[in-house]
Structure 1
């Protein structure tokens, strides 16, 4: 299983791209601005999109993705998400005001996109890989994901603040190779981070102390304007795991 980092930033600018990971060629975890770097052929190969939550930096490329390649595909793109996320997309994006509803185009019986509701701790089998939804804590209903193949697993936290249930689930993953976890704000902005339910470096260290496995810890979702400060503070506060900041364009082999 190969995981291509299309975007891992908390914002845009200076070639930064927001959150999106391509698993092999057919599974997309979140649909941030990183999707725009794929070719039309690569876009058309995506069969499943798993969304952590409804915020714009994680879903903004989805409408354009479906619009760009829907006519090239024989089956609809399946969007897996919490019911609350699906309702947000129906109400605010695919509403015929902001964008057409591709669950109705070109016909109800032959849509370019379909929704598949997820609940926490639900597993979806996609070929030889499985995607399990984990608990996350954010300002809107949100998920993390555990992706498993025959050779190992990785976990992607999505956007989350402290969450003991998340760590209980992560510690149950025996073959965990990578933990991709967000740290959006610098320590000086910890009040904002707490309100927005994101992590900051001191809190990241506190959360990683709950980890009982030994994966490589990769940090995502840094605000571009504060990236250097956050990187220095992660190094100082993150503890024994020596996390490193994930880079756009990396390919992780699991």
Structure 2
């Protein structure tokens, strides 16, 4: 079986699986983006989050935040209010941390050239500790201030998703036109030339930087070899 056929088989297998996320479905603000990617033969999404505000309670003995070992006190994909955070904090026993996390998409790509279209990063986040050993360490006024910032970031994140969708759609349409206009031999020559140039300029950026540790572990546990390339997308300047 050639690699293109193997990629199609793997894509169909992945998209037919049950959604095991906490929410159990694709977030509303990212549905169109996920559908756009999955509608193209060279991509498929393995997980997604449109962005969220969360309040985690971690063990005070933990050296770093690990979500799988934390108690989720609050999670919302919409703007929240101070009172919701205050109520949730009453259940904290360790170190409660208020976080805003922007859009995250894990996308499997058929070829390196496809992954290069998507590879964008962002530092558009927020992470602030609020309690220690269950004791509130900040004022309600400060919590209200943080919630406003988190909500502003949520709104900006939504705008970035829209810009990213429009730019991606334009890039894919342009790519389709190029595929029609150029013979296959010419496209292959251009792609190989582009890949060689980028690899010499910055080999880390051209390849390994966009393969996430999480997806690498998933691939190691899969019964089949990886027929594609994994890219994590964090919209920044689109």
Q: Mark yes or no: TM-score above 0.5.
A: no
Higher relative contact order (CA 8 A, sep 6+): 2
- Please give the range of the TM-score, normalised by the shorter of the 2 chains: under 0.3
Greater helix proportion: 2
Please report the TM-score for the alignment, with normalisation by the length of structure 1: 0.23
So what's the TM-score if we normalise by structure 2? 0.24
Larger Rg belongs to: 2
- Higher strand residue share: 1
